[in-house]
Amino acid sequence: MALVKYGGGVTQASGSIGGTVHARNRFGNYIRARTKPVNPCTVRQDMIRTIMSMLVIRWSTTVTVAQRAAWHTYAAAIAMKNRLGETVYLTGFNHYVRSNVVRYDRLSTVKDDGPAELSLPEKDPDMYCVGYVASQKIAVSFSKLLPWYTDAGSQLVIFMGEPQLATRNFFNGPWKCAGGVSIGEDSPKMITPPFTLTLGQKVWYYGRIMRADGRLSEPFTVASIVLAAAP
């Protein structure tokens, strides 16, 4: 891996060019050799691909012109960030698939109507997750004061990364869906993790708030050390 300092011509780069990958971490820009990732073809992976394929077909064959227009209106109002930190706007199709992959995975339903509220759902700054060896459960703490908690059909969806050494400071996937919190449930909620919990390991989690109207929040991440048992 080589560190890079860009000059006046190119100020930032992200992604693959030829046999090299341009990226950035907290220490600055770097370039590394490109490697082709192994495709594990897991059951979970194939299921998500199937959901995405279904949504692509549904967008063009089932979703009406008016519904597509509503998604495009929603997309035009939602500013997102790309890998360079620049403000970009996705298409209505992008948001339709982005939101409905999680919705179908969790609830086996699809939201064809575009959201009327032109904003992303709020993140939960109080969310915290910690795993326990004795019970092999994750305790998910969250705020009951956010609007999603009283909105029937909404969920806080939790994703978990594979446990790592406690000395590791970075993690960017892969992730597995661990479960969800529905309205009216108590905090903390105990959920069964998709990975085995081992004492002292470090685990990254992220949450997304899925609203009943089809909106999906950006991810918000926490990390914690696996403990022996709940206090």
* String of DSSP letters for 153-178: T-EEEEEEEPPB-TT-------EEEE
- What local confidence, expressed as pLDDT, does residue 46 receive? 84
Region 45-72: mean pLDDT is 94
Q: In angstroms, rounded to a whole number, what is the distance separating the alpha carbons of residues 51 and 100?
A: 9
Please report which confidence band the pLDDT of residue 83 belongs to, taking 50, 70 and 90 as the band edges. confident
Q: What's the chain's average pLDDT? A: 88
Chain-centre distance for alpha carbon 169 = 19
For residues 225 and 196, give the distance between their C-alpha atoms in angstroms, rounded to a whole number. Answer: 13
Tens of pLDDT, residues 216-231: 999 999 999 999 998 7
- Mean pLDDT within 36-50: 75
Which DSSP symbol is given to 125?
T
Enumerate residues 6+ apart whose C-beta is below 8 A from 143. Answer: 124, 125, 126, 127, 149, 187
pLDDT on residue 87: 86
Residue among 181, 191, 185, 188 nearest 135 (CA): 191
Encoded amino acid at 64, one letter: T
Tens of pLDDT, residue by residue over 178-192, are: 999 999 999 999 999
Structural domains in the chain? Answer: 2-33 (no CATH), 43-107 (no CATH), 128-225 (2.60.40.10)
Find out whether 162 and 111 touch, Cβ atoms under 8 Å.
no
Residue with the bigger pLDDT between 19 and 74: it is 74
Q: CA 148 to CA 151: how far, in whole Å?
A: 5
- Interval 207-212 mean pLDDT: 96
| pLDDT tens per residue, range 158-176 | 999 999 999 998 898 889 9
pLDDT digits (tens, 9 = 90+) for 1-33: 555 566 665 666 666 666 676 666 655 666 666
Taking the CA atoms of residue 112, residue 46, residue 105 and residue 53 in that order, the dihedral angle to the nearest 10 degrees is 0
* Higher pLDDT, residue 21 or 204: 204
Write the pLDDT tens digit of every residue in 112-153: 999 999 999 999 999 999 999 999 999 999 999 999 999 999
* pLDDT score for 212: 95
Q: Identify the weakest region by mean pLDDT among 31-45, 70-84, 187-201.
A: 31-45
